[in-house]
Chain A
Amino acid sequence: MAPRALGVGMNFLRSPRVWLWIAAAIVVVNGFFPALWIFFTSLKLEGELTRLPITYWPQHPTFQNYLQAFREQPLGRYFFNSVVVGVCSTLLCVGVASLAAYALARLQVPRRGLILSLMVGISMFPVASLMVPLYQTFTELGLRNNYLALILPHAALSLPVATLTLVSFFAGIPRDLESAAMIDGSTRVGALWRVVMPLAAPGVFTAAILAFVNSWDEFLLASTLLPAKAMRTLPVGIQLYQGEYSFPWPLISAALVVALVPVALIIALFQERVVGGLTQGGVKG
């Protein structure tokens, strides 16, 4: 009986289904673990967090840390700031990118290759290098700690990738549709608005998601250009939770979860679009 049971065990490992499950588990655990761990941490009170041996599963799960995170720091304000900068920079970026991408995909543009290369080149500029002159310029203009000081850079930083994504989308829309509308008496701008834009909407949406996530995640410029407490975005505000000597982990973990919910929702809802946008921008450059 025993050898037979062992044989069954081995057969179990020989089944390709099992290996598929193990392989999938590796990717899923690798991707989800840090976010899950910080969620579990956020449900533990200070007493549980500073006890040895550490607990994995929360012993007395509670949402008290969340209340405290909102009470002790202007977390709601940080969230609001991130939304304002994220939404405005995304709209600006996608609007400007749509116009440029249409011209690059459809019209006779002299030195088109050079313009595209320049855009890719600009998207590789180190943010740390742009930070110093932007700090000087926005300080001189009196715009430091004004939303504009972060909206403009965030829109510009996502603009090259958004434009390149949209160029390939516009190029995929049959020209005949546009010509037909123009023969029917529509102007080129009219045809663009009524015929091309609705067809390009999925591309515009993809570009918008990427721009928003980039803005939501950005730290270096946000910490330099919007340093005032009331103007901080989530990455800046939460980073500064760490006092010089104390590490208020219950608060930080709760705040992190709050800050991660919007991006987690976006990628969960629009995963295929995000993957398409990322790989297209990356592979086609």
Chain B
Amino acid sequence: MIRSERRYRRSFGDLSEGALAFWLLLPAGLLLGLIALYPVGRLIYTSFFKQRLSEGPQATFIGLANYAQALADDRFWNAFWNTVKIVVVTVPGALVVGLLLALIANLPFRIKWPVRLGLLLPWALPLIFVGLIFQWFFDSQYGIVNDVLMRLGLNREYWLIQPTLAFWAICWTIVWKTSSFVALILLAGLQVIPSELYEAAEVDGASRWQGFWRITLPLLTPAILVALIFRTITAFQTFDIPYAMTKGGPGTATETLAMYVRTESIENLNFGYGSALAVLLFLVSLAITVVYLRYVRGDDG
């Protein structure tokens, strides 16, 4: 009896609960360790070295010199402020457009799939393809945007050639691409607001407009905050859309932080300095993530 039980225990099927949990979590731990945690450690380590592959593989420890260089680098600050500007314009932009789309999608349609697909399609299109398609929209000669402007009797513009216009064209594209995801999150929030609340408000003589401000918005606040923080984090990492539309141009007028990281490290093979720039980008994301986790995990303790 005892022997057979021991053999049974040794078989994989009946590990103690703690051991089973360990083995089940191990693959996830290994994968995330290899692809996320180890790279971040290595990134920070490399950022303390001078390592340019064009001058050979050797790395020299230079302490914080890469960071000092970054803080004195006009191109870094240009990329930083471009990124901040994109965040400041596109996060509220996507929120307002997304809220509008969500309110429409929440109407009592009998056939739901066209509207649902209308929200899903922008989410599913690859960012880099959205950039390419909108580059074609904003083409100064054959683009539809200039065509519409001319039909309205306005002047055609050099959208992706003139720095300010290029910035706005990129922001427009990002808002189009990201507002549908915001709309899906807000729609989920709208759908759990009990309709009795609106009925009660109507009985009390409240207008629809008052209902929106007094019921919808307050109850939607948690979903709005989640969308806001999530969108802010991804907006700081903006790469694909400006890369496809302008390659950061004209000059470096629309270059973002993520684009500068790629240029320095992958194209110029300047690993040390590129890593320092990547650490700075990482720290910004981390700070916002901590706020997000405080918020999301905070209330369910």
A residues whose Cβ falls under 8 Å from a Cβ of B: 20, 23-24, 26-32, 34-35, 37-38, 41, 49-50, 52-54, 56, 92, 95-97, 99-100, 102-104, 107-109, 113, 115-117, 119-122, 124-137, 152-153, 155-157, 159-160, 163, 187-190, 213, 216-220, 224, 234-235, 238-239, 247, 249, 252-253, 256, 259-260, 263-264, 266-268, 271-272, 274-275, 278-279, 282-285
**Shortest Cβ distance from A219 into B: residue:** B128
Q: Would you call B105 an interface residue if the criterion is a C-beta within 8 Å of the partner chain's C-beta atoms?
A: yes
Q: A24-B109, A187-B13 are in contact. List 13 more A-B contacts (CB 8 A).
A: A53-B147, A100-B24, A121-B286, A133-B275, A136-B42, A156-B32, A157-B35, A217-B126, A238-B128, A238-B129, A239-B132, A264-B121, A279-B187
**Shortest Cβ distance from A227 into B: residue:** B266
| A260 touching B125, Cβ below 8 Å | yes
* B133 surroundings in chain A (CB, below 8 A): 34-35, 37-38, 256
Contact check: which of A156, A157, A213 meets B34 at CB < 8 Å?
A156
B residues whose Cβ falls under 8 Å from a Cβ of A: 11-14, 17-18, 20-21, 24-25, 27-28, 31-32, 34-40, 42-43, 46, 101, 104-105, 107-109, 113-130, 132-134, 136-137, 139, 141-144, 147, 150, 176, 180-181, 184-185, 187-189, 222-223, 226-227, 230, 233, 236-237, 239-240, 243-244, 257-258, 261-262, 265-266, 271, 274-275, 278-279, 281-282, 285-286, 288-290, 292-293, 296-297
- A-B residue pairs in contact (CB < 8 Å), sample of 14: A96-B27, A100-B25, A103-B25, A120-B292, A128-B278, A132-B261, A135-B265, A216-B126, A249-B136, A256-B133, A260-B129, A268-B117, A279-B184, A282-B181
- Tell me the number of A-to-B contacts counted with CB atoms below 8 Å: 308
| A278 touching B278, Cβ below 8 Å | no
Known: A96-B28, A133-B39, A282-B226. A188 touches B14 (CB 8 A): yes
* B36 surroundings in chain A (CB, below 8 A): 122, 125, 130, 156
- Shortest C-beta distance, B249 to chain A (Å), equals 13
Q: How distant is the Cα of A234 from the Cα of B107 in the complex, in angstroms?
A: 37
Q: Which of A130, A216, A274 has the most CB of B within 10 A?
A: A130
| B25 touching A99, Cβ below 8 Å | yes
- Shortest C-beta distance, B254 to chain A (Å), equals 16
| A259 touching B34, Cβ below 8 Å | no
Q: How distant is the Cα of A31 from the Cα of B125 in the complex, in angstroms?
A: 10
Q: How distant is the Cα of A106 from the Cα of B275 in the complex, in angstroms?
A: 40
* A131 surroundings in chain B (CB, below 8 A): 261-262, 265-266, 278
